[in-house]
Amino acid sequence: MIGTGLLITLPVVPLFMVIVGKGAGALHRKHFLALARLGGMFTDRLNALPMLANYNANKKQTDLLVAASDELNKRTMNVVGVAFLSNSVLDFFATLSVALVAVFIGFSLLGELNIGPSIELKDGLWILLTVPLLLSEMKKLGAIYHQKAKAEAAQENLAPLLSSTDMPFNPDSTQPFSGFEAKAFRAGDVLHADKLVISPHDHILISGASGSGKTLLLEALSAKRESSHCLKGKVVWLTQQPVVLPSSVRQNLCLDDVYDDEKLLQVLFQVELTSWFEALPDGLDTQLSYCPELSGGEAQRLSLARALLREADIWLLDEPTAHLSDSQHHRLSRLIHSVTQDKTVLWASHKALPANWFTHFWNVKHQQVNVQ
């Protein structure tokens, strides 16, 4: 009798989880969609802050962001509610099943029920120990399906970001850069070029108005955006905003790699940060907060030291001196030029740089890369 009851009731647990899992998967898809929309809205408004200020549109856009945030919160609570409901209901049914089995065994041992074969005390104890284990395994099976549904919902939203059949994959290569040639180059539907050629040790200045696509071109060449061709070799970036982590000087330089102290001190000397370093209280183990006591030029020099450690053949410089004063711009530009003499350099800049530093000049205008 107990076995028949379990055969009927045990499949109910994973079946319930399958039903709940499908519902949770649908809720997770809506949650990821709301999260993506909120992130996109925030990024768009952040990029358009000057325009919003000019047209006094801050209040209206803030209200839109608050409404999107509230919608995301509602979807988050729906997901949490379903998870809580499924666990609570399963625990209730599992407890009820064990209780009914215990009542049946108890009344059978007392002689009040005579359904099926007789049950001895040892048999009853064994059943009471086994039934909760069976229900627990059924709950685990259902929970696994629940997690599978959530993972599938996440995969549908994240897959386009992690892979693209049209984008070439360009891992850091151990092979030295041997050259690059691209005929009918395109970066999505935004940038085009009839022909781009880069030889080892070329120094190329990329000019163009702000927003013309200089950064997009560098991202496309390094395979960070969809493009018809990409550079093959080890690449490092130096951007407008140097990243300073809230950790030690050593961790800021090494990241996930390992370098000895002598090498770290050498690159700090190369980027003219020796005086700054000698004033640190704990040397390489000095902790840098979220607001480090670094000037813009010093932070960029720290980023430059980090790049030097990677010993890459190709350097992509995306206006690294854009937010520095003229004097800092000239000093840091001369430093970058001196430490990249034996590298292949693509330097995007709207600030003046000596023409004799470069072997080629590219100009980005009207979605076209023109080679001079």
The residue ranges of every structural domain in the chain are: 2-162, 180-371
Task: Please give the DSSP secondary-structure letter assigned to residue 356.
Answer: G
Q: Report the C-alpha gap between 92 and 98 in whole angstroms.
A: 10
Pairing of strands 180-187, 191-198: antiparallel
Spatial CB neighbours of 195, under 8 Å, sequence gap ≥ 6: 181, 182, 183, 184, 185, 371
- Asked if residue 246 lies in contact with residue 289, where contact means CB atoms within 8 angstroms, the answer is yes
For the chain, how many residues are written? 372
**Of 92, 112, 103, 85, whose CA–CA distance to 5 is shortest?**
103
- Number of H helices and E strands in the chain, helices first, is 11, 8
Cα four-point dihedral sign 172, 173, 176, 178: negative
Grouping H, G, I as helix, E, B as strand and the rest as coil, residue 180 is strand
Tokens representing 105 are: 């065994």
**Of 204, 207, 243, 203, whose CA–CA distance to 340 is shortest?**
203
- Written as one letter, the residue type at 214 is K
CA dihedral 312, 315, 316, 319 (to 10 degrees): 130
Alpha carbon of residue 254 to chain centroid: 20
Tokens representing 354 are: 């000596």
pLDDT tens track of the chain, all 372 residues?
555 655 555 566 666 666 666 666 677 667 777 777 777 777 777 766 666 666 677 777 788 888 888 877 887 777 777 666 666 766 776 777 777 777 777 777 777 767 766 777 777 777 777 777 777 776 676 667 666 766 776 676 666 655 544 444 444 456 788 899 989 999 878 889 999 999 999 999 999 888 888 888 998 898 888 888 889 888 888 888 888 887 889 998 998 788 999 999 999 998 889 988 888 888 898 888 655 578 888 888 899 999 999 888 999 999 988 878 888 889 889 999 999 999 999 999 988 899 999 999 999 998 899 998
Q: Report the C-alpha gap between 241 and 244 in whole angstroms.
A: 9
Tokens representing 244 are: 């300073």
Task: Please give the DSSP secondary-structure letter assigned to residue 368.
Answer: E
Pairing of strands 368-371, 360-365: antiparallel
Task: Please give the DSSP secondary-structure letter assigned to residue 224.
Answer: S
Q: Residue 25: what pLDDT?
A: 65
**Of 225, 223, 246, whose CA–CA distance to 234 is shortest?**
223
Q: Which CATH superfamily is domain 180-371 in?
A: P-loop containing nucleotide triphosphate hydrolases (3.40.50.300)
Q: Residue 131: what pLDDT?
A: 74
- Asked if residue 209 lies in contact with residue 350, where contact means CB atoms within 8 angstroms, the answer is yes
Architecture field, domain 2-162: Up-down Bundle (1.20)
Q: Residue 167: what pLDDT?
A: 43
Q: What are phi and psi of 369, to 5 degrees?
A: -95, 115
What does 249-287 look like in DSSP terms, one character per residue?
A: HHHHHHTTS---HHHHHHHHHHTT-HHHHHT-TTGGGPB
What does 134-174 look like in DSSP terms, one character per residue?
A: HHHHHHHHHHHHHHHHHHHHHHHHHHHHH--TTSPP-PPPS
Tokens representing 255 are: 């990241």
**Of 315, 70, 317, 336, whose CA–CA distance to 177 is shortest?**
315
Spatial CB neighbours of 142, under 8 Å, sequence gap ≥ 6: 13, 14, 16, 17, 18, 20, 21, 90
Tokens representing 160 are: 């386009």
pTM of this structure = 0.56
Q: Residue 12: what pLDDT?
A: 61
E strand or H helix that includes residue 121 = helix 121-162
